[in-house]
A and B are shown apart, each in its own frame.
Chain A
Amino acid sequence: MAISEDTLFLIYEIIDVIISGLTNGSVYALMAVGLTLVYGVTKAFNFAYGSFFNLGGYFAWILINFVGLVGGYFSIFLAVIPLMFVVGYGLEKTMVAPLRKRDEWEMKVMMLTLGLALFMDNLYAVVFGGRVKSLPPILEGTLEIGNLIFSYQDIMIFFLSITGILLFGWMLNNTRIGMAVQAVAQNPQGAKIVGIPKNRIFAATFAISTAMVGFGGILLSQKYFISPMSGGAIMIKSWVITAFGGMGSIRGGLVAAFIIGMLEAFVGWTFGMSYGMIALFVLLLTTLAIRPQGLMGRG
């Protein structure tokens, strides 16, 4: 059966859109996993998530422009990720932990992190200027397979995102701290009885999620841009994905990320880019109407 040229083009187009969706999806997955982890374990909602994403990017930018790129991106990761971990840990211990003792602390944490986001975003604007910054690409060049083109940068980002998530999953299941985190998430009372230091675990979880989002920030800032004001949009997107997947469910977050990545790509292709946001919320609303806890959230 002969395929007409038009149909062939259409197939290529669809494959292109799928690839676009997958690339976006992997990035979203990286962004979402940290947020859903932190919420699932500590029930703390981090409004400043997007600001931390940018923090990773800005740290990398400082290292590249003032210290010089020695050892390539590998050394950047090695330097920034532990730094983000420390920042997250410190922040949790000094700001979030004291709030946990108060009533209505969920709302207070939201307010606190909102203030933090305001502070950080505008601090970036003051320190780094309002204009966008970019990072050099991790790899250059493209790969052509037939009519399809892939950039090595995209492939590397996808690869690193997936690796990051897998590493994270491994850590959750195979390390003491990972198991402790899971225990606290599933049964805080039980964990306490068994003697797991809840406060330290909370801090560690926050720190891990901060490190992950910072990693995402470095990865993405080379493809897109670091702008002091983009934190809000990033936070909203991560938030939508986590809610859609079920807040607290890492697997749900992953699935949600890819579904949303694909949805955006296809809606953009069919209807136009302006409808992406609307489509996203329509999907979210319908899902929540049927399953109020998200795709895979615990009820």
Chain B
Amino acid sequence: MKRLTMLATILSVLLLLGPAAMAADTIPVGVPLAMTGAYTGSGDDYYKGIKMAIDEINAAGGLLGKQLEIIRYDSKEFAPEVVMQGADYLCGQKKVASVHAGWAGWGQDVRAYGKYEVPFFADDGSQAAVDVYRENPEQYANIFQLTDVGIEQAKSMFRVLMALPYEYPNKKAVIINTDDSWGVEVGDTLESSFKEKGWKVAKRETVPYGTNEWGAILTRIRRIKPALIHIEIPSAQENITFFRQFIKKPTQSILSLGWGITPREVVENLGEGADGIVGEMPTGLPGPVAPNAAGQAWIDKFVGLYKHQIPAGSWATYTGVMAWANAAKAVGDAYNFKAVNAYLREHGYEGHQGLIKWDKDNVLRAQKAAPVVHYQVQGGELVAIYTDPPTTPYRDSKFIVPRWIK
């Protein structure tokens, strides 16, 4: 029994010790992201934006005279209790002044972080998360979404696809999406949008992540000869393997990868071979040529730091951190959560592209100053061709008909 008591004592002591008390002259900021598991890649991209913002603020003297300190938390694969634990750890234990996340749980995060008042920024892009918010807007007033929901992003994709200076040879479309809430939201919305416009969705397929053999699907596609193929898989490898197998004998179709065009691996692996593919990035800063000097400076700095063009989420989380810091500064106290949240809601934030505002659901809807940026791969890199809303061709960009369409 002596051993057991010893064991129990050690455990209790270790549990109680906890991490050392924080220095009083820093403001802790919580950053729960996927650091291990299947979603690590996206977690990485979000972190880049957050870190860039925090470093900038600290270099300029900090927030309200104090340096910001990043407290990371591993959301792993967003199991319910892990998300909840993250909230309890960051907000309850570490007493952070704000929380910045990327993908955060698609609804689970609203429940978890809604128990606190700490300003919480996420990039769920999920209607489910908004539905949870609507159940109790007062309690969830601290939850801020950084991108529009999948449904709206899908509508944006549809508008741009219809606005392209290209004449579709027929009105047949093929939609392929993943089986998670994002894929289903986008897939469903696109399907109904197409049908409304008199198109025929000749094939709608839901695939699991990890699908790398596209033989059967491509066979069908080659039989259908659709004018447009839309794949909605927010992960690099499936898109790359699809395209490689598709291009062996391509159909005369516009290939739209939706959000799936944004993971850097896609252009890095396919290079100029991917020229012609279109896709989108929500809450984006168009590039590689930015709309204004401030934006260009930001892109150049990012590229200097990370050696590649901006992936999805980086500008969104950067702007989120800046917006929060700005609100905290205006209120004068980073810990007056109610005031900071109210300020954000009322005043929004003046970002690189103008004033952005959160709507009544605390969602940063696609708007002129935080548009959905639509890209086409040109010369082996993502080039902005449209912004939406409103659906506008971007500066002097050109849409190039993919080389596989004769």
Contacts and interface: CB of A to CB of B under 8 A. Distances in A.
Interface stretch (A52-60, A167-175, A221-229, A291-299): A221-229
Contact of B265 (A13, A20, A132): A132
Contact of B223 (A13, A144, A230, A265): A13
B217 A273 contact: yes
A161 B265 CA distance: 28
Interface stretch (B107-115, B122-130, B206-214): B206-214
B191 to A, nearest CB: 15
A273 B240 CA distance: 17
A125 interface: yes
Contact of A125 (B36, B179, B217, B218): B36
Q: Say whether chain A's binding surface is mostly helix, strand, loop, or mixed.
A: helix
A120 B241 CA distance: 25
Contacts of B216: 16-17, 20, 265-266, 268-269, 273
Interface stretch (B20-28, B38-46, B312-320, B327-335): B38-46
A9 B237 contact: no
Interface string B210-232: 11110111111001000000000
Contacts of B249: 142, 144, 149
Contacts of A269: 216-217, 219-220
A132 B40 CA distance: 10
B36 A17 contact: no
Contacts of B206: 272-274
Interface in B252-298: 264-265, 269
B403 interface: no
A10 to B, nearest CB: 8
B237 A225 contact: yes
A115 interface: no
Given A24-B213, A229-B37, A233-B210, A13 B205 contact: no
Interface residues of A, number: 37
Contacts of A125: 36, 40
Interface in B304-322: none
Contacts of B211: 273
B164 interface: no
A75 interface: no
Contacts of B210: 230, 233
Given A149-B249, A225-B240, A274-B206, A134 B215 contact: no
Given A149-B248, A225-B240, A277-B208, A131 B44 contact: yes
B219 A16 contact: yes
Contacts of B161: none
A275 to B, nearest CB: 10
Contact of A274 (B37, B208, B240, B248): B208
Contact of A132 (B43, B219, B237): B237
A63 interface: no
Contacts of B38: 229
A122 interface: yes
Leading 4 A-B pairs by shortest Cβ distance: A130-B40, A20-B215, A269-B216, A273-B207
Given A268-B217, A272-B207, 8 more contacts: A16-B215, A17-B215, A24-B213, A134-B240, A227-B237, A265-B213, A268-B216, A276-B208
